[in-house]
């Protein structure tokens, strides 16, 4: 079970459920990896639908690492994600949302 109050999101990858979380270290890695001007710019790309596959993979990788996963970018790129690219993009967007908002009383 994920804890939305801790910013956690779940992803099923290669048949295993992983908990993703954007810690400060993961956010710093994400910002450096995407060469983004700021995290606000990245959030704006997602909100405007102007994100790319590289953004999704970088967010997932940062979230997986923040959740304790020890894999590499190559491992993620070759992984089978349940739900495919649409689910990967949804999880990436949810990671950003949960990292920067307080969940409502329903935990969403």
For residue 103, what pLDDT is reported?
65
* CB-neighbour burial class of residue 50 (10 A; exposed 0-12, middle 13-18, buried 19+): exposed
pLDDT digits (tens, 9 = 90+) for 9-63: 999 999 999 999 998 888 887 777 777 677 777 778 778 877 888 889 999 999 9
CB 17 within 8 A of CB 10: yes
For residue 96, what pLDDT is reported?
86
pLDDT over 90 (residue 76): yes
For residue 61, what pLDDT is reported?
94
Query: Could you give the C-alpha distances from 59 to 13, 63, 106, in angstroms and in order?
Result: 15, 6, 25
* CB-neighbour burial class of residue 30 (10 A; exposed 0-12, middle 13-18, buried 19+): buried
For residue 55, what pLDDT is reported?
86
pTM, to two decimals: 0.84
């Amino acid at each position: 079970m994920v804890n939305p109050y801790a910013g956690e999101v779940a992803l099923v990858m290669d048949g295993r459920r992983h908990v993703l979380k954007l810690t400060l270290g993961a956010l710093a890695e994400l910002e450096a990896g995407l060469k983004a001007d700021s995290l606000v710019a990245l959030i704006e790309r997602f909100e405007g639908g102007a994100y790319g596959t590289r953004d999704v993979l970088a967010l997932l990788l940062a979230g997986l690492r923040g959740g304790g996963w020890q894999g590499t970018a190559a491992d993620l790129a070759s992984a089978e994600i349940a739900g495919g690219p649409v689910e990967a993009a949804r999880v990436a967007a949810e990671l950003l949302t949960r990292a920067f908002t307080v969940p409502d009383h329903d935990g969403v």
